[in-house]
Amino acid sequence: MRYSAELGREICARVAAGESQHALAREPGMPSRRTFRDWALREPEFGAAFEAAKLEGRARQIAADREADLRPGSGKIWRRMLAQASPARRRGGSVSILTPELAEEICLRIAGGETVLALSADPDMPCAGSIYGWARRDDEFREMYLRAKELAADLFFDLAHEVAMEATEDSVRGDRLRVQVLRWRLAAMEPKKYGTRRLLGPVVRDDLDESGAPRPFAIEVVNFVERDGGWRELGS
């Protein structure tokens, strides 16, 4: 589906009104969530309006949730979930609502390039703290989550190539920034695969040891990331 300013305005208006991107993308005639993200990267005007719309929609949802909490009798479902939760699944008064279906949807969206913070802005999704907590405590979900991050890194690699190949004289400055951000994310997510490497060796001065046998040589692999206007060794 091709981008149009009219469709972009409609998407931003509905997101700002509180409609979730997930529900919007399911509607016939609407692009997918991945297309939303691609347009936001490729169309600066739409990207800025889309980010503002997400913030406004999230603020509306928070206000609606607070208003619902103040109504008499509200919160019954949440209290029942807490009462039914086993002590082993409770952490600081909260309850885990992770299900196989929810875990699969979270990981599919992360593999599609969506960040955890952006995902948590969706009213239909859990907060970022819950997702990170599940990744720490649940071995099966952690494995799915790490695999999704690997797939997302491959997606960012392809996206950086597409942005670079489609750059024009008018868009080259913005496209260069996008590629640099994608390179930084790739190096942080998968340093062994996408980090900049430097091979050093051999690191010994003499070829033979005291007994006359050849000394083994070593290869030092150092990963670098672009940070603060220059290249820094990863972990430093």
Q: What is the mean pLDDT of residues 36-62?
A: 84
CA nearest to 116, candidates 100, 124, 101, 127: 127
- Residue 25: predicted pLDDT: 86
pLDDT confidence of 170, banded at 50, 70, 90?
confident
pLDDT digits (tens, 9 = 90+) for 57-89: 877 776 665 555 444 444 444 444 444 444 433
- Residue 214: predicted pLDDT: 56
Pick 109 or 60 by higher pLDDT.
109
Cα 192 to Cα 113: distance, rounded to the nearest angstrom: 19
- Asked if 57 and 14 count as a contact pair (C-beta separation under 8 A), the reply is no
How many Cα neighbours within 13 Å face the side chain of 158?
8
User: Can you read off the two tokens belonging to residue 233?
Assistant: 């060794």
- Residue 67: predicted pLDDT: 58
Which residues does residue 196 pair with via DSSP β-bridges, in sequence order?
Answer: 224
Of 31-45, 89-103, 111-125, give the lowest mean pLDDT range: 89-103
Domains, the chain, ranges and CATH? 1-74 (1.10.10.60), 85-193 (1.10.10.60), 195-233 (no CATH)
pLDDT digits (tens, 9 = 90+) for 194-205: 776 544 444 444
pTM of the model: 0.44
| DSSP 8-state class, residue 19 | -
